[in-house]
Amino acid sequence: MNFISNRPKAIAIFQALFVTFLWSTSWVLIKEGLKDLPPLTFAGLRYLLAFLILIPVYLRQSKKVELKRLTKNDWGLLITLGIVYYTLTQGLQFLGLKYLPAITFSLLLNFTALFTAVLALIFLKEKLSNWQWVGILVFLAGVFVYFYPLNLPVGLALGLAIGMATVFSNSIASIIGRFINRSKHLDPLTVTVVSMGIGAILLFTIGLLTEEWQPLSLTNWGNIFVLAAINTAFAFTLWNHTLRTISATESSLINNTMLIQIAILAWLFLGEQPSIKEWLGMAIVGIGVIMVTLQRKRISEGE
């Protein structure tokens, strides 16, 4: 059966691509929102509102029984995931986008695939294949091409430091998430709603305590609503729906298109203009990431 005749598969792939487009537009919305909003409070509001929107969806799917069955160990893992992925990673991402262009920060986040592969080797005993090691070298070559010659102003250097901290916390969150999913006894929606609620409340509280609160305009609220309702709650629900039809390898490939999508959107709407050298670096980075992630996905599918 070919791609065209397999209508459900084709629809799922287009839906997944649409989700990655929504996630890519988030970077433009965040950059615009940061002109008026403090980063931590902004991030906290986005995920707190998304959490509140997801609660009715969660309860409608009769997940309350599963919530009551959570063990102390489950709660510990979900709390840790919430703090690492939402409080730390998302807070750092919004903070980093205050100092870095969206394209540069997006490229840095692709380090997550490498960090995760290495951490999985250490903590989950997932061995790296020769193909993955080559992919890591290709990735690093792309980063070198993108940033060469290295000449960093103070603001950019601070942004890069925040970016690498984001990558590290994101990689740790990925390992925790994979450890939770290995057990296969928790529904993905339960994992998301519980961890998001914990992380978002903590992040919003930190923002209120450390940043100056200011009245929000209708534009600000509209920005936050789109990020929370459409680009988080709706996008997550649709993405999980597509995973019932497409494979892990296909979802990984589709997800990796975000690097180019973000670059194009930042060029169109934020006025960021990568040079030919930087486009080349991004292309090489994308190839390296695909080499690393696809091999890992194939191994997990085989298992």
pLDDT score recorded for residue 112: 84
Model pLDDT for residues 157-183, shown as the tens digit of each residue: 899 999 999 999 999 998 898 888 777
Return the number of other C-beta atoms located less than 10 Å from residue 168's C-beta. Answer: 18
Model pLDDT for residues 197-252, shown as the tens digit of each residue: 999 999 999 999 999 988 899 999 999 999 999 999 999 889 888 878 887 667 77
